[in-house]
Amino acid sequence: MTTARKLTMAQAISEAIGQEMERDPKVFAMGEDIARYGGIFGATGGLLERFGKERIMDTPISESAFIGAATGAAAEGMRPIAELMFVDFFGVCMDQIYNHLAKNTYMSGGKVRLPVVLMTAIGGGYNDAAQHSQCLYGLFAHVPGLKIVVPSNAYDAKGLMIQAIRDDNPVMYFFHKGIMGLPWMAYYEGSSNEVPQEAYTVPFGQARIAREGKDVTIVALSQMVQKALLAAAELEKEGIGTEVVDLRTLVPLDVEAVVRSVKKTGRLLVADEDYLNFGLTGEIAALIAERLDQISLKSPIRRLGVPGVPIPYSRPLEQFIIPQVKSIADACRGMMRGKVAQPA
């Protein structure tokens, strides 16, 4: 019998890791403050007490060292989970990620498997300034050899984490701080939902229709899905039916789910918290543009994202550059009127 409870994303991720550690003794976790503090965003809460310091390891502040150690451990048959505290810190360990973790299976002719989960916190909205507030998953989606997972809610967070741990390839798992359900930080309630106690997986490359609609398709992931759902609820009062497609994973990408939705609505808005330039929004727009022989658009494709500036510390400026519920709703209204709204 399946038993479900309402969990936060932080609780769901921690539960997924704990269940996989119980199932498979080769699974262990390492990172800064993941043991004694349970991770500063709660992703490993309670695991030190259950599994001890040999499997839940606090590390020195040396991201290159512990991500390199995770890569080596995986090559020797272990299944490590490493937490990069903020994705913004990737610069000090990028060589380990894109030259070793991403490529060594290919360069070994498939003889070396690297089942590493590299999880990391993303996102702004809480005034942590330019070096602690970015998303950047588009950078890693650009690198062959990495799978990219970006959940928007607790149910998906657990299932995707279990799938990631069991995958024999490197997986980058991005969680948005603003939907983790942390008591010290405001978050979107919709990200906490019913989660089965039993272990389960959510397959990679299968997008979720978070809300059905007939007039406009919004493609999003992570916290932006929660904002899109709130915008869709507002638009419904005006008679506008908005379909929200939650991508769940960037690599692999469920292109067909997006195509099916846009075929139905004839309008596409891609809303993202990553940078607008050379990112997810442009990729999705291009994939749809390449299929215009199959799709009849009623309005030009619309993109919302962060402009090419560092994330400001100032709350009004930060709120201005990151797409919000109002800017998403306004963009949809403009598309229904045949107008293209200005970037948020």
CA 25 – CA 17 distance, rounded (Å): 12
Strands of 208-211's sheet in order across: 208-211, 242-246, 216-220, 268-275, 302-306
CA 317 – CA 237 distance, rounded (Å): 29
Sign, Cα dihedral of 149, 155, 159, 165: positive
CA dihedral 274, 270, 228, 344 (to 10 degrees): 60
Give me 223's structure tokens.
């916290």
The one-character DSSP state at 180 is S
The per-residue b/e assignment along 306-335, b for 16 or more CB within 10 angstroms, e otherwise, is beeeebbeeeeebbebbbbbebbbbbbbbb
Decide if 132 is catalytic.
Answer: yes
Of 100, 132, 142, 176, which is the active-site residue? Answer: 132
Residue 140's SS3 state is helix
Catalytic residue set: 132
